[in-house]
Amino acid sequence: MKIDNLNWSILKLLQENARYTNAEIGRTIGLSSPAVAERIKKLEDIGVIDGYKAEINHIQTGYQLKAFVTLRAFMGKLKPFLEQVKTYKEVLNCYRITGNENLVMEVVLYDQFHLEEFIDKLITYGEVRTSIVLSNVIENNPIGKNR
Amino acid sequence: MKIDNLNWSILKLLQENARYTNAEIGRTIGLSSPAVAERIKKLEDIGVIDGYKAEINHIQTGYQLKAFVTLRAFMGKLKPFLEQVKTYKEVLNCYRITGNENLVMEVVLYDQFHLEEFIDKLITYGEVRTSIVLSNVIENNPIGKNR
DNA sequence: AATGAAATATACTCCCT
DNA sequence: AGGGAGTATATTTCATT
């Protein structure tokens, strides 16, 4: 897939603010609004744009803690966990990874008690490592143009 | 901050698709479009909604690898790195964390050579651990209603 | 693949409840 | 805090280049 400069400009703007109108985008990059609409539709169709998501401040919604939790699954426990994890609403993201651990999860939690409950759910599946997020150094840095 | 059921419904919808119109949201939850607009504006003003972001498929844009990279900084190297990391366009997110490592970064990379270059930039600042993402188990699970 | 114009839908503002 | 009306703006479709 080849992405031209205009499409990169559109992607940049939509990563900054997914609610920009086609007209606004068009004015910024020097294109008519139907042209912008057509380009965005194509980017969606070919899967370059996966979707549009509101960024929620988890602290403001009552989730006081954010953490990265890794799991090194016990023998035969990875597969059942991959099903179970889908039922955990604390988990924002979960990835299979290389290395000593099998999975890394990004989770939000109400408080320390909630964290304890969450870890308790995991320890039957494998070794758990928890890293609590202290602050955001970089958040949602947009993907830019390829070389 | 107290979030009522209607606002939770709005947040749910906007996490699914930030480009839903106020009219669509209003029809779904049984509210007029100006009422939806007013509620969304308030959620933005008080910081519950941080923004709206297009989700970009990094593979489709030429970034073949995604990885989690942790840094355990050498003595006196954490602070300079916190400035330096802001200049790295590969880094989507970077968080200060508790535990053996000081930082975790979510990065996208063109290929293995790019990964090697990236790690080389970090090793002067501390111990680096790299976990390459193999697959997405859960991605962008929306934050739901507090208990 | 982009433009301009017409038709439709949505957003915004104001006033009323 | 929400509804309804009127106006401005945006989106969509289509014909044209």
- Do A95 and A123 lie in one domain? The reply is yes
- Do B33 and B77 lie in one domain? The reply is no
Residue A116, CA distances (Å) to A120, A136, B96 in order: 6, 23, 21
Q: How far is the CA of A17 from the C1' of C11 (A)?
A: 17
Would residue B138 count as lying in a domain? no
Q: Cα distance from B20 to chain A (closest Cα, Å)? A: 9
Would residue A139 count as lying in a domain? no
- Do B40 and B73 lie in one domain? The reply is no
Beta carbons of A114 and A105 less than 8 angstroms apart? no
Would residue B15 count as lying in a domain? yes
Average pLDDT, chain A: 97
Structure tokens at A13: 């703007």
- Which residues face B49 on adjacent strands? A56
Residue A147's pLDDT is 64
Which residues in chain A come in under a pLDDT of 70?
147
A28 sits within 7 Å of strand D by its CB:
no
Give the pTM.
Answer: 0.95
Q: Look at chain A and report how many structural domains it folds into.
A: 2
Which residues of chain A does B131 touch, with a Cβ-Cβ cutoff of 8 Å? 97-99, 101, 104
Residue range(s) defining the domain that contains residue A101: 59-132
Q: How confident is the model at residue B147 (pLDDT cuts 50, 70, 90)?
A: low
DSSP secondary structure letter of residue A31: -
By CB neighbour count within 10 A (0-12 exposed, 13-18 middle, 19+ buried), where does A99 fall? middle
Question: Is A143's CB within 8 Å of B55's CB?
Answer: no
Residue A98's pLDDT is 98
pLDDT tens digits, one per residue of A48-67:
999 999 999 999 999 999 99
Q: Cα distance from B75 to chain A (closest Cα, Å)? A: 19
Size of interface A-B (CB pairs under 8 A): 217
Which nucleotide is closest, CA of A21 to its C1'? D10
- Do B37 and B68 lie in one domain? The reply is no
Strand D positions within 7 A of protein Cβ atoms: 1-5, 9-14
**Alpha carbons A8 and A13: distance in angstroms, whole number:** 9
Beta carbons of B52 and B11 less than 8 angstroms apart? no
**Which CATH number covers residue A113?**
3.30.70.920
- Do A117 and A81 lie in one domain? The reply is yes
- Do A78 and A20 lie in one domain? The reply is no
Beta carbons of B72 and A107 less than 8 angstroms apart? no
User: Which residue, among B10, B41, B11, has the nearest Cα to B27 in the 3D structure?
Assistant: B10
Question: Is A52's CB within 8 Å of B52's CB?
Answer: yes
User: Which residue, among A67, A48, A47, A41, has the nearest Cα to A8 in the 3D structure?
Assistant: A48
- Do B99 and B76 lie in one domain? The reply is yes
**Which CATH number covers residue B28?**
1.10.10.10
Would residue B53 count as lying in a domain? no
Question: Is A52's CB within 8 Å of B57's CB?
Answer: no
**Alpha carbons A101 and A126: distance in angstroms, whole number:** 10
- Do A19 and A69 lie in one domain? The reply is no
Distance of CA B48 to the CA centre of its chain: 15
- Do B80 and B41 lie in one domain? The reply is no
What 3-state DSSP class applies to B88?
A: coil
Would residue A111 count as lying in a domain? yes
| Amino acid code (one letter) for B144 | G
Q: How far is the CA of B142 from the C1' of D1 (A)?
A: 27
Would residue A79 count as lying in a domain? yes
pLDDT above 90 covers what percent of chain A? 97
**Alpha carbons B41 and A132: distance in angstroms, whole number:** 31
Q: Cα distance from B137 to chain A (closest Cα, Å)? A: 5
Which residues of chain B does A136 touch, with a Cβ-Cβ cutoff of 8 Å? 93-96
- Do A80 and A111 lie in one domain? The reply is yes
Would residue A84 count as lying in a domain? yes
- Do A68 and A125 lie in one domain? The reply is yes
Beta carbons of B131 and A98 less than 8 angstroms apart? yes
- Do A40 and A12 lie in one domain? The reply is yes
Would residue B144 count as lying in a domain? no
